[in-house]
Amino acid sequence: MRRSTAFYAVLLFIGICAIVASFFFNNEEFKALSGTLIGIGASSAGVSISNLLMNRAARKNPELEKQATIDYNDERNTVIRNRAKAKAADITQWLIMAIAYITILISAPLWVTLAVVVVFLIYHFMSHYLMVQYQKSM
């Protein structure tokens, strides 16, 4: 279901407010909070601007939106998207392990390395769990 234009306008306002608020925490002791507010504000503003522009284009050209919806739901395109996601996940798992090795090489705290390894293990457990679920359902 598509969200309304009002939702994205409110999200844009919240993003701009977060960016403005980050300037009030621009000293050394609140540096992390300032960076977090800038990140949240910039990402929410970017998402909302993008969706507002897409909604505007869809209102101006409804037949193009209808064709885009048909193309998105097309079986062939769905298979292509799923294969791309699977390949991206395969690459990501090796990048996660590379990050774990880098944390070992730079002598990062043990908890950082263990956190990266836990993310890798969660990925593999979820992968196997979903594989079993899909085999049962098909």
Whether 40 and 87 share a structural domain: no
Whether 62 and 89 share a structural domain: no
C-alpha torsion sign, points 75, 79, 80, 84: positive
pLDDT tens sequence across 12-69: 999 999 999 999 888 888 888 889 999 999 999 999 999 999 888 888 888 888 888 8
pTM for the model stands at 0.58
Tokens representing residue 42 in the block: 């910039």
Rounded CA-CA distance 92/14 in Å is: 32
Rounded CA-CA distance 48/59 in Å is: 16
Residue 105, φ and ψ in degrees, nearest 5: -65, -35
Whether 3 and 47 share a structural domain: yes
| Structural domain range at position 47 | 1-73
The mean pLDDT value of the chain amounts to 90
Whether 1 and 59 share a structural domain: yes
Return the higher-pLDDT residue of 11 and 68. Answer: 11
Count how many domains the chain has. Answer: 2
Query: Which residues 6+ apart lie within 8 Å of 58 measured at CB?
Result: 64, 65
Is the pLDDT assigned to residue 104 strictly greater than 70?
yes
C-alpha torsion sign, points 118, 113, 101, 88: positive
Whether 126 and 92 share a structural domain: yes
Average pLDDT over residues 125-131: 91
- The amino acid sitting at 91 is I
Whether 109 and 54 share a structural domain: no
Residue whose tokens read 């407010």: 17
Is the pLDDT assigned to residue 105 strictly greater than 90?
yes
